[in-house]
Chain A
Amino acid sequence: MKPARFRYARADSLAEATALLAAAPGDAKLLAGGQSLVPMLNMRLVRPAVLVDVNGLRELTGITPLPDGGLRLGALTRHAELAGSPLVRERAPLLAEAARHVGHAAIRNQGTLGGSVAHADPAAELPAALLALDARVHITGPRGAREVAADAFFRGLLTTALEPDEILTAIEVPVPPPSWGFVEIARRPGDFALAGVAVTVGSHPLPLPAPSRAREGAVRLVGFGIGDRPIRLIRAERIVAGGRVDAETAARAGAAAGADCDPPGDVHGSAEFRRHLASVLVERALLQMSARLAGRAR
């Protein structure tokens, strides 16, 4: 199981990486951590003519605090850095927790935030966490730089708003939500989740910088492994809107989520089992979020 032949180039700058992609239209792939791309190359599921290695691009590194209380995360941030960084734990604890669940240590040492988001595996933890956090994806390409809200970024199975000639450069997460929850079920630690849920409840005393930012009491509830992409569970969100969660509302939200999702079935778990998990995990994630909020209020 060896990859087909390809040509390799080590980019020294973002401008060079963009030019290298443009020079092989539709036939070049970026190589960052490679933890999803290389298995696909080895199995010859993808056969790009050119691999552009972006691991040396300093423009894509760094975890930077933003003046509004948010965080800018370079696309090359490794999962192990996300899980271990005191700054991420303080300002985006949901993201740090999600990163801890990605693969095994050897995978987390190499795999990157940008890679995971651009790959957009429907069972991946980080895309779901970013959707729950209302993060923004920064992109650059031959037509200039742009940013896309997580809500508009994930389009379908392994499909995103990123064009083939564009590069995901960074992720910005807003001010940390007052509370959050994250739960997943996998066969073994490190396996892709059979199903998982990430949730945040918003509230912020300052004037909000953008209309899309979390509003007072707004709950963002996201399921992963239960559809073709990370899925907002809108009806369940409405049931717990305002952030008042108790055992009864959590159970009702769980039931709504289970009824609304359309999970895939495979050898690891039937669609019906995943639907059941979605329901139970929504309930657990909401109660976790509620307990965390109560802990903080004390």
Chain B
Amino acid sequence: MTTPSERVTVRCTVNGRPGAHVVEARRSLADFLREDLGLTGTHVGCEHGVCGACTVLVDGRSARSCLLFAAQLDGRAVTTIEGLTPAEGLSPLQESFRVCHAMQCGFCTPGMIVTVTALLAEEPAPSTETIREAISGNLCMCTGYVNIVRAVEQAVAARPAEARA
């Protein structure tokens, strides 16, 4: 029988980079990314799954990184905002956020980008209502939702037609 332990070995891939890590059992995925890997693009807001700021992709699907322990990541692949950002410049979605001024203080922006990336992977041409519902789990304390929805719509419209099918 496995013996329960306060320290756990985890083999996982973060932004395409495989690695083995020994983590404290209670280390959240969010703190693991920020404190242990220095990936501070993932923001930590409420730490109980309500604000959406810490959203990352786990095996391609959105997840709250404050509600997962790093110990649970064995054999899985995590993508953070850093992994969604090109080496140079911005992704089309990020560029659309910039053009539409879809950020004020910017705290919610990484979580918004990750959430919308997951949405567009499943639904390439979402309606305005679908976009609003998809980001309803991501709080923008500046209340800048109008421009965020506009940025997503513009990013969708700017895609080549075949990507929207």
Contacts and interface: CB of A to CB of B under 8 A. Distances in A.
Chain B interface helix/strand/loop/mixed: mixed
Interface in A1-39: 1-12, 16, 19-20, 23-24, 28, 31, 34-35, 38-39
Chain A interface helix/strand/loop/mixed: mixed
Given A42-B66, A104-B52, A189 B71 contact: no
A129 B2 CA distance: 36
B74 A10 contact: yes
Most buried by A among B1, B28, B48, B115: B1
Interface residues of A, number: 42
B4 A104 contact: no
7 contacts: A6-B26, A7-B4, A7-B6, A34-B68, A35-B64, A39-B48, A53-B71
Interface of A: 1-12, 16, 19-20, 23-24, 28, 31, 34-35, 38-39, 41-43, 50-53, 55, 80, 103-107, 109-110, 188-190
Interface residues of B, number: 36
Interface stretch (B11-19, B98-106, B130-138): B130-138
Given A9-B3, A106-B115, 5 more contacts: A2-B28, A19-B1, A51-B69, A188-B136, A190-B133
B137 A103 contact: yes
Interface string B120-150: 0000000000000110110000000000000
A186 to B, nearest CB: 10
Interface in B20-70: 24-26, 28, 31, 47-49, 52, 55, 58, 61-64, 66-69
A12 B74 CA distance: 13
Contact of B118 (A38, A50, A105): A105
B45 to A, nearest CB: 11
Contact of A5 (B6, B47, B62, B133): B6
A222 B4 CA distance: 40
A28 B4 CA distance: 10
